[in-house]
């Protein structure tokens, strides 16, 4: 079994302009690329789990969602960072799907598809819904850029995230 770092995308890996649809506008959060590289080197499988309700709302075309994803993957590839998987929920909040965070469906699907050990995995995000999804899946949950009691750790920066992951990797085996 492998451990995963589940990653919210907008506001966690990428700067969030609100319903991102322009691949040329893709920008990384400070420290994200280095942090992802270190996480990869620590043995975490990198898995994006992202709500994109802008598709259901008609704000983002599916082709635009794909273009933004492809641009991120290409920029990561240039840094020798490989995503083990990417899971997107394109539903709206009224559709009661099992994938839209805070539901844990995307994490559960990834665990099944990729052979991931959830108890030794970590969910990283910038919103409470990310933390709840991670906890519901049975993983640890780290919040970036804010503080809430449900999180296992609250990080101010990606540097803090990396420090947490290094400690976690040393203490918890898949």
Residue ranges binding Zn ion (CB under 5 A): 89, 91, 97, 99-100
Residue 10 interacting entry, from Zn ion, Mg ion, none, C-beta within 5 to 8 Å by type: Mg ion
Q: How far is the CB of 149 from Zn ion (least distance, A)?
A: 27
Nearest to 28 by CA among 68, 60, 88: 68
Cβ neighbors of 91 (< 8 A, separation 6 or more) are 53, 56, 97, 99, 100
Residue 91 interacting entry, from Mg ion, Zn ion, none, C-beta within 5 to 8 Å by type: Zn ion
x/- track of binding to Mg ion for residues 101-130 (CB under 5 A):
-------------------------x----
Residue 8 interacting entry, from Zn ion, Mg ion, none, C-beta within 5 to 8 Å by type: Mg ion
Going from the C-alpha of 120 to that of each of 2, 44, 46, 57, 137, the distances in angstroms are 8, 10, 13, 35, 11
Residue number with CB closer to Mg ion (11 or 31)? 11
Q: Binding to Mg ion by residue 145, rule CB under 5 A?
A: no
Q: How far is the CB of 51 from Zn ion (least distance, A)?
A: 8
The strand pairing partners of 6, in sequence order, are 47, 123
Q: Binding to Mg ion by residue 11, rule CB under 5 A?
A: yes
Cα(28)–Cα(154) distance, integer angstroms: 20
Q: Binding to Mg ion by residue 64, rule CB under 5 A?
A: no
In the sheet that 3-7 helps form, which strands lie side by side, from edge to edge? 85-89, 44-51, 3-7, 122-125, 140-144, 153-155
Residue 26 interacting entry, from Zn ion, Mg ion, none, C-beta within 5 to 8 Å by type: none
């Amino acid at each position: 079994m492998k451990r995963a770092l589940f990653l919210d995308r907008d506001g966690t890996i990428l700067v969030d302009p609100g319903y991102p649809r322009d691949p040329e506008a893709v920008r990384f959060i400070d420290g994200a690329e280095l942090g992802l590289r270190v996480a990869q080197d620590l043995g975490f499988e990198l898995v994006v789990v992202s709500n994109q309700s802008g598709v259901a709302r008609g704000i983002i075309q599916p082709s635009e969602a794909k273009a933004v994803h492809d641009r991120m993957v290409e920029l990561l590839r240039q840094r020798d960072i490989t995503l083990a998987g990417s899971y997107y929920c394109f539903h709206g909040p009224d559709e009661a799907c099992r994938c839209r965070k805070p539901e844990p469906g995307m994490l559960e699907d990834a665990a099944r598809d990729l052979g991931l050990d959830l108890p030794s995995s970590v969910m990283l995000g910038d919103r409470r819904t990310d933390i709840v999804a991670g906890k519901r899946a049975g993983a640890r949950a780290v919040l970036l850029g804010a503080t809430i009691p449900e999180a296992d750790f609250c990080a101010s920066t990606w540097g803090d995230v990396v420090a947490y992951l290094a400690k976690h990797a040393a203490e918890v085996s898949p």
